[in-house]
Amino acid sequence: MNISQKTFPNGLSVIVSSIKDSPSVTMGVFVKTGSAYEKKEHNGISHFLEHLCFKGTSKRPRPRDITEELEGMGAQYNAFTSRDMTGYYAKVAPRFFSKAFDVIADIYLNSTFPEHEFEKEKGVIIEEMRMYEDFPRWKVGELMEQQLYGDQPAGWTIIGPEKTVQGISRDDVVAYKEKHYIPHNTVVVVAGPVRAQDVFKETERYFSHISTKKRTEPAKVKKHTPKGHMEYRKLDQTHFSLGFQTIPLAHKDRIPLVLLANILGGGMASRLFQVVREDKGAAYYIAAGNDFFTTHGYLKIFGGLNHKKSDEVYTLIAQELKKIKKEGVSSEELKRVRDYTAGTFLLSVESSSDIAFFLGEQACAQKEIRKPRDIVKEIYTYHEKDIMRIARKYLKKEKLAVAAIGPRKEAAQKVFKAFKTI
């Protein structure tokens, strides 16, 4: 992967990954802002702003002017908001690169937030909230985050509560954009069959005139004692999520934590999948993974269980956590998991859009931009002793939060009891 970088005098960064034979090119504008940068009274404003940027610009005054132009190129395009960043992107055939760049730059720079679209879009977001509320597999993860970090940005939802979103004014959105959508907070990323110098010229043409301002930092994560929560719903499955407080994206323990999560619940050969689904037939899905952010992170274990077997599953999971802390991992299992981790990672950076997101996340959440081959090389530097060290360091009951959604009112106490012994 050939990566070129440039920082303009106003602070805006550009990263280009030139991929000679790629059939597509992806350009994205990534902004270092998200729910981690919000005040409680405006929780959800980053996500609301992202929606509103597609509602018209000074050059393209109607939403359909934006969508018709992008879809006229056959573009795959969208935007997203996370805790740390907001991104706008389009993936197109190489011959449409300049046109797509113009549209995405226009969305970032010149959105007008028309009043008649403003209130209407609140309704769209509220329906999005309700969609997530009706999806317990997603909702239980949100509940777990709330229990893990409490009443602070790390524990709030990205979309925000309905009451808060309803109260956001157009002036609030304009002020938030002016504060956060600034050159020092912004990274332009392009991946595909393009020359770096051509991208730098294109970026300079659109973005060099933006005046520089002092950037803000995300809220520091306050110490919080994790808790547990059970939400009663009449469902056909009990959905649960466990979370252990860990580390931010840039921390040196990140890759061994990924290896640990993959040993526990990464793929169908993982310990928990074998014990819970294959041996007991107690779940359709059971997995483990990590979420890493600029300021914090967590290792999670989650699944959807047969109600009658849920108590047994919690006990089995607790036993596996104790086992890996006590006995570690064999050389054969670690070899398999290193190969699995390296392989799945490389598959995750195959296309131009994959690479653009990979570079954009690094640029927004850590200072160093790492190439995939360097990450793969690091994966193979960890040994059995490292996995045991990481398991003992982070798989602790005082770092654990639990959430569950299901029809058994006593289930919360059952979960807490099972994990008191880890």
Q: Using alpha carbons only, give the angle 10, 16, 18 rounded to the nearest 5 degrees.
A: 160
Per-residue pLDDT at 212: 77
Whether 199 and 259 map to the same domain: the answer is no
220, part of any domain:
no
Whether 30 and 93 map to the same domain: the answer is yes
Active-site position among 50, 121, 145, 320: 50
215, part of any domain:
no
**Average pLDDT rounded to a whole number, residues 98-108:** 98
Q: What average pLDDT does the structure give for the chain? A: 94
- DSSP strand pairing (238-245 vs 297-305): antiparallel
Task: Tell me which of 214 and 98 has the higher pLDDT.
Answer: 98
pLDDT by residue (tens digit) across 353-363? 999 999 999 99
Whether 248 and 341 map to the same domain: the answer is yes
| pTM of the predicted protein model | 0.95
175, part of any domain:
yes
Least confident of 13-27, 191-205, 230-244: 230-244
Per-residue pLDDT at 416: 67
Whether 400 and 288 map to the same domain: the answer is yes
Sign of the torsion formed by the C-alpha atoms of 65, 69, 71 and 77: negative
222, part of any domain:
no
**Average pLDDT rounded to a whole number, residues 144-148:** 96
Whether 201 and 260 map to the same domain: the answer is no
Whether 280 and 140 map to the same domain: the answer is no
Per-residue pLDDT at 413: 64
Where does the pLDDT of residue 412 fall: very low under 50, low under 70, confident under 90, or very high at 90 and above?
A: low
Query: What CATH number did the domain enclosing 43 receive?
Result: 3.30.830.10
212, part of any domain:
no
- Please check the confidence at residue 408 and state whether its pLDDT lies above 80: no
Per-residue pLDDT at 267: 95
Whether 184 and 320 map to the same domain: the answer is no
69 is catalytic: no
Spatial separation of the C-alpha atoms in residues 69 and 389, rounded to whole Å: 53
Per-residue pLDDT at 298: 98
Q: List the one residue out of 58, 56, 80 whose CA is nearest residue 68.
A: 56
Least confident of 84-88, 105-109, 199-203, 403-407: 403-407
pLDDT by residue (tens digit) across 295-314? 999 999 999 999 889 889 99
Whether 236 and 202 map to the same domain: the answer is no
- Please check the confidence at residue 58 and state whether its pLDDT lies above 90: yes
**Average pLDDT rounded to a whole number, residues 357-383:** 93
Whether 262 and 407 map to the same domain: the answer is yes
213, part of any domain:
no
Per-residue pLDDT at 411: 58
83, part of any domain:
yes
Count of structural domains, the chain:
2
Where does the pLDDT of residue 367 fall: very low under 50, low under 70, confident under 90, or very high at 90 and above?
A: confident
**Average pLDDT rounded to a whole number, residues 265-293:** 96
Per-residue pLDDT at 417: 73
**Average pLDDT rounded to a whole number, residues 140-166:** 96
**Average pLDDT rounded to a whole number, residues 9-20:** 95
Per-residue pLDDT at 1: 78
55, part of any domain:
yes
- Please check the confidence at residue 230 and state whether its pLDDT lies above 80: yes
Range of the domain at 331: 228-419
Whether 146 and 63 map to the same domain: the answer is yes
Whether 88 and 175 map to the same domain: the answer is yes
Where does the pLDDT of residue 384 fall: very low under 50, low under 70, confident under 90, or very high at 90 and above?
A: very high
Single residue among 178, 207, 236 that ends a domain in this structure:
207
Whether 203 and 281 map to the same domain: the answer is no
Tokens 């190969």 sit on residue: 339
